[in-house]
Amino acid sequence: VAVTDTAGKLIASTTLDFDAMGPTATVGDMVAAINAGLAGKASASFAGGRLTLSATMPGTGIAIGQDPATPAQRAGIGLSQVFGMNDLIRSDGLTIPSGFAASDPHGFAAGGTAQLMLRDGAGRLLAQHTLAPVAGGTFGDLLSSLNASPLGQFGQVALDATGRMRFTANPNVAGASLSIPGDSTDRAGTGRSFTMIAGLTGGASVLQSGEIRPDIQGNSGRLPLALLDTRAAPGGIALGTTDRTGAAGYADAHGKLLDLGVAGTVSVEHLAAHVLGGAGSSAALATARLTEATARRDDAVNRRDSFSGVNIDEELSQMVVLQNSYSAAARVISTVTAMYDTLLDMVR
């Protein structure tokens, strides 16, 4: 973790050796090590599940780099990514694995519950269970509770190498899957529920919303392209202003597979092609449906007009007939009048 000025000159740095901290080290120990190592040139804090690093001197900023030989990783994820320090797109969601082990404390307070339902491939309910974490327990305790519940009759829940919980159904109910319709748990006040941390359902890997960091969206020149030189000494150049080696990382990330747990793996390249292809297919389908609907509408209008419309020629001919009939009737009346007058004259 380094502090540099606007020219990329190293002001202060510290190396976090998690092996030296020991297996019982906490996030608090890491924060203390950062603050001690940077000696007031920057400050670190951790609250509400968020790690905050801030440079204290004007015109300086924070840079984080992994040791090329022994990078610090949790479940295969680097320190910056675990704490979201290098996110270009930010969200309140969670897509990376937790990295928890069975012996780690689960951190859920008493009172919260999670409803789990197991259904077969046809959607029929096989079993259900309400998980009620006991304060002070471990993830191993949660696994024991799940496997001892009615769910355990149809399969087993276990932690994989990345800290995600995986349900393996018995052969006689192959294709069965878990869902969590309700969850009121909260890990250590962070707003992260059992559903989000366990990763038992595909919905746990879905971001409801996301946005590009406002500072980078407003100025693309702030997008970092240089890589931190972890060998630089104070006063030396740690971030070269002409260094563009970091650009290769963006290109590599385009095709790198992302592990989304139950939802599978996907690359940004494949996801973009899928989204754009889906949009194109949807647009073509919408156009075809519009054409079909327009044809049906026009046919309906024609049918309506042919049933209720007025034929001008036919109406004119009917009017001529009516006029002729009126003229004939008038002549008959005139004749009758003349005959009547004649009769009257004869009587006189």
What are φ and ψ of residue 166, in 5° steps? -125, 130
Asked if 67 and 145 sit in the same domain, the reply is no
DSSP category for residue 68: S
d(CA 224, CA 87): 11
- pLDDT score of 296: 95
29 plus 82 within the same structural domain: yes
Is the same domain home to 86 and 219? Answer: yes
Smallest CA-to-CA distance from 111 within 138, 134, 137 is with 134
In angstroms, rounded to a whole number, what is the distance separating the alpha carbons of residues 204 and 96? Answer: 10
Q: What is the dihedral of CA 318, 322, 323, 329, to 10 degrees?
A: 160
Alpha-carbon distance of 202 to 291, in angstroms, equals 37
**Shared-domain flag, residues 182 and 120:** yes
Asked, for residue 99, whether it belongs to a domain, the answer is no
Q: Rounded to whole angstroms, how far apart are CA atoms 30 and 51?
A: 10
Based on the domain organization, do 10 and 47 belong to the same domain? yes
Q: Which of 14, 11, 61 shows the shortest CA–CA distance to 36?
A: 14
DSSP string, 17-67: -HHHH-TT--HHHHHHHHHHHHTTSEEEEEETTEEEEEE-STTEEEE----
CA distance between the termini of the chain: 140
Coil, strand or helix at 129: strand
* Structural domain for 124, as ranges: 114-205
**In a domain? residue 98:** no
Evaluate whether residue 104 is within a structural domain: no
Q: For position 43, what pLDDT does the model report? A: 94
Whether 41 and 84 map to the same domain: the answer is: yes
Task: List the one residue out of 175, 164, 154, 16 whose CA is nearest residue 94.
Answer: 164
The predicted model scores a pTM of 0.66
Report the number of distinct structural domains present in the chain.
4
Question: What's the pLDDT score for residue 139?
Answer: 95
**Whether residue 340 sits in one domain with residue 193:** no
Q: Note the pLDDT tens digit of each residue in 2-19.
A: 999 999 999 999 999 998
Shared domain for 14 and 75, answered yes or no, is yes
Query: CA-to-CA distance for 71 and 73, rounded, in angstroms?
Result: 6
Expressed in percent and rounded to 5, the helix, strand and coil fractions of the chain are: 40, 20, 35
Assess whether 252 and 272 both reside in one domain: no
How far apart are alpha carbons 82 and 73 in whole angstroms? 9
Residue pair 4/60 in contact by the 8 Å Cβ criterion: yes
Identify whether 334 is part of a domain. Answer: yes
Is 180 part of a structural domain of the chain? Answer: yes
My answer on whether 141 and 172 are in the same domain is: yes
**224 within domain boundaries:** yes
- Between CA 132 and CA 116 the distance in angstroms is 11
Kindly state whether residues 80 and 221 are assigned to the same domain: yes
Low-confidence stretches of the chain (pLDDT beneath 50): none
Query: Residues 212, 88: contact at Cβ < 8 Å?
Result: yes
Q: Which amino acid is at 226?
A: A
Same domain, 136 and 201: yes
Question: In sequence order, which residues have a C-beta less than 8 Å from that of residue 253 and are 6 or more positions away?
Answer: 268
What 3-state class would DSSP assign to 3? strand
